[in-house]
């Protein structure tokens, strides 16, 4: 797993690296634009939505939401990523912090219409995901939604097939989403597949 210094070093080339994989329709970013586009359309269904982005990186998605009137909050553990995102969203509320340890105090008292995580939450173990997602659901307004866009599979067999095909490109440090396993903890979870290795996971606050 990259630490915050690793992400600082990767920050300036991150968007280019994503684009190369996405355009070639290869793991891990096949379907990337469709994932971000689907989340974008969902959030814009609420006027001036209050959005928390976990691990927002360079702000690719949140910048578009910001430009369309959303109130943006975010937490990322890379100071360089925050610097790049802040240049695009000067009035956004962006905080530095390791989300594997939870939300920073400035965010833990806020409520949101949406909490999103795109290609970031796979750094958490399966057990950490369950605990953190439960906490994030508590940060939502009534009817709010947790939306995750990431490398994700319906079943463990699909994940193993992708791993075999990816070969040396597979990242063993990242713990990808297996929907039918996560649904055991979150029965209302829905999944919209966007490519053979990606999709949008949604969990609505009941």
Question: For residue 140, how far is the Cα from the chain centroid?
Answer: 16
Fold of 4-20+30-204: Rossmann fold (3.40.50)
User: Where residue 25 falls among pLDDT bands split at 50, 70, 90?
Assistant: confident
Q: E strands within 77-204?
A: 93-96, 112-118, 140-153, 177-178, 190-195, 198-204
8-20 residue pLDDT tens? 433 344 466 565 5
49-77 residue pLDDT tens? 999 999 998 898 999 999 999 999 999 99
137-155 residue pLDDT tens? 999 999 999 999 999 999 9
This prediction's pTM:
0.90
For residues 104 and 83, is the Cβ–Cβ distance under 8 A? Answer: no
Q: E strands within 2-111?
A: 50-54, 71-76, 93-96
Domain segments of the chain as ranges = 4-20+30-204
Question: Is the pLDDT confidence value at 7 over 80?
Answer: no
Q: What pLDDT was estimated at residue 32?
A: 87
Q: Are strands 93-96 and 177-178 parallel, antiparallel or unpaired?
A: unpaired
């Amino acid at each position: 797993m990259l630490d915050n210094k690793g992400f600082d070093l990767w920050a300036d080339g991150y968007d280019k690296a994503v684009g190369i994989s996405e355009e070639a329709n290869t793991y891990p970013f096949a379907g990337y634009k469709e994932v971000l586009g689907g989340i974008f359309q969902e959030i814009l269904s609420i006027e001036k939505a209050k959005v928390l982005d976990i691990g927002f990186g360079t702000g690719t998605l949140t910048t578009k939401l910001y430009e369309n009137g959303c109130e943006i909050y975010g937490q990322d553990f890379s100071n360089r990523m925050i610097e790049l995102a802040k240049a695009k969203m000067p009035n956004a509320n962006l905080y530095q912090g390791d989300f594997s340890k939870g939300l920073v105090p400035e965010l833990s008292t806020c409520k949101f219409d949406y909490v999103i995580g795109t290609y970031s939450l796979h750094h958490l173990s399966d057990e950490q995901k369950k605990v953190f997602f439960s906490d994030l659901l508590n940060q939502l307004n009534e009817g709010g939604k947790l939306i995750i866009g990431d490398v994700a599979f319906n079943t463990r067999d699909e994940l193993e097939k992708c791993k075999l095909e990816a070969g040396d490109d597979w990242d063993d440090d990242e713990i990808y989403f297996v929907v039918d396993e996560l649904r055991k903890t979150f029965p209302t979870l829905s999944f919209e597949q966007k490519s053979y290795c990606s999709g949008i996971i949604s969990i609505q606050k009941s």
